[in-house]
Amino acid sequence: MFLTVTLNPALDVTYRVPRLRAHASHRVTDVTERPGGKGLNVARVLAALGHPVTVTGLAGGPTGAHVRALLAAESGGVTDALVPVAGNTRRTVAVVDGSTGDTTQLNEAGPEITADEWAAFLDAYAALLKDSGTSTGTSTGSGTGQSAAPVRAVALCGSLPPGVPVDAYAELVRAAHAAGVPVLLDTSGEPLRHGVAAGPDLVKPNADELAQLTGDTEPLRAADDARRRGARAVVASLGADGLLAVTADGTWRAAPPRHVPGNPTGAGDSAVAGLLSGLAEGLDWPARLARAVALSAATVAAPVAGEFDTAVYAETLPRTEITSGRGAARDGA
C-alpha cells in the first residue's frame, strides 16, 4: 500500500458564481465540500487507479470531525489513520468564476499543534511504517480493514500547521528510510529546504518553489542544484508546459498535447499520484511522467481536486510528448 502524510489537512469548500467581482455580493450557484489537503488528494487519485492507500496527518475540532466523516463516506480503497488533535482543522475556500473558469483561493493557516500532539503523531507514523501489514485505521471503502500490504512508498505533502517544527519533513524522511521505505516530498519554503537535506528519493516542487529553494529561476539548473542539496531525483511542475524530471537515470521533459481549460487546483497532487503509481507498477521514468502529465491535465478538467476526468486522461496519456536529454529539457523549460 501507499502512505500519504497530510500534516495540515483541510475542509475544501468550493463556491461557483456566475461572475466574480470585487466589492460585490454574489449568488452562489453550486457548493461542494471535500476532505482536502495535498496528501488526501493524492490518496483519492491513487485509490481511483486501483492502489490501496492509507492517509495520516493531524485532524481536530468540528472541522476535523467533518473531514473524517466525509472521508469515511467516500467509496474506494482509502484508509483513515489521521491522528486527533485539540485544535480545529483549517478550511480552504475556492471561488470559481463561471465566466472565465478562474479560481480564487483562500487558505487558513491551520490549528496550533502542541509538542505532545506532535510526539503522538511521530509514534503513529512509526507504527504505520513498522506494522504496515495490519490496518491501523478505518477503511473508507467496502474493505474489511483487516490487512494491508507493506508500505511501498510514502508521500509527504503540503504545508505545516503552526507549532510543528520546520524540519518536520526531514525527520519523517529519515524515519521512512530507516524502515526501508522510499519517500516523495511535495512541500515548499523552509520545510522543503530542510526536507531536501534529508535525502528524499523524489521531490516534486513547482517552478516557483524550486526557484525559492535554489535561488535559480532556470528549472534545469535549479533541479541540478536541488539534487546537490540532497534530493535523489527532482520532478518539477512547469504549469501548462508539463514536467521536468532530473534523475540519476536521465533527464526528461513531458508536455501535454494541448492546453486543458478548467480549475488547476489539485493538478500537482494528481501528478504525484501518477509518479507513485508508476513506481509501484515498475514503469520507467518516461512512462511515469506521461501518466503524471495526463492525470494532471485530467484533474484540471474535473470539477474538484482529488478527481480526474477519465476521458481527458485516456485522450492525453498516449499523446503526451516525452523528450529526453538535457538540451531538450532546457529548451522546453
Query: Residue 13 above 70 pLDDT?
Result: yes
Element (H, E) at 13: strand 10-17
First to last CA, the chain: 34
What are the phi and psi torsion angles at 298 (to 5°)? -70, -25
Q: If you average pLDDT over residues 158-179, what whole number do you get?
A: 97
Q: If you average pLDDT over residues 317-330, what whole number do you get?
A: 78
Query: Residue 145 above 70 pLDDT?
Result: no
pTM higher than 0.85, yes or no?
A: yes
307 versus 5: which is more confidently predicted? 5
Q: How far apart are CA 67 and CA 33, in angstroms?
A: 9
Q: CA 277 → CA 52, 243, 270, distances in Å?
A: 10, 16, 10
Give the cell for residue 239.
Answer: 504549469
Rg (CA), the chain: 19
What pLDDT sits at residue 9? 97
> What are the residue ranges of helices labelled H in 131-260?
168-178, 189-197, 207-214, 219-228
pLDDT band at 326 (very low <50, low <70, confident <90, very high): confident
Residue 297: which residues within 8 A CB-CB, separation 6 or more?
Answer: 256, 260, 267, 312, 313, 316
Query: Residue 120 above 70 pLDDT?
Result: yes
Q: Is 201 known to be catalytic?
A: no
What pLDDT sits at residue 148? 53
Query: Residue 237 above 60 pLDDT?
Result: yes
Q: Which of 269, 284, 309, 331 is catalytic?
A: 269
The one-character DSSP state at 112 is P
Give the cell for residue 114.
Answer: 502542541
For 132-141, how does the pLDDT look when each residue is reduced to its tens digit (9 = 90+)? 444 434 444 4
Query: Residue 327 above 70 pLDDT?
Result: no
Query: Residue 297 above 50 pLDDT?
Result: yes
Percent of the chain whose pLDDT exceeds 70: 92
To 10 degrees, what angle do helices 168-178 and 189-197 make? Answer: 30
pLDDT band at 38 (very low <50, low <70, confident <90, very high): very high
For 246-291, how does the pLDDT look when each residue is reduced to its tens digit (9 = 90+)? 999 999 999 999 988 877 878 999 999 999 999 888 899 999 999 9
What pLDDT sits at residue 262? 78
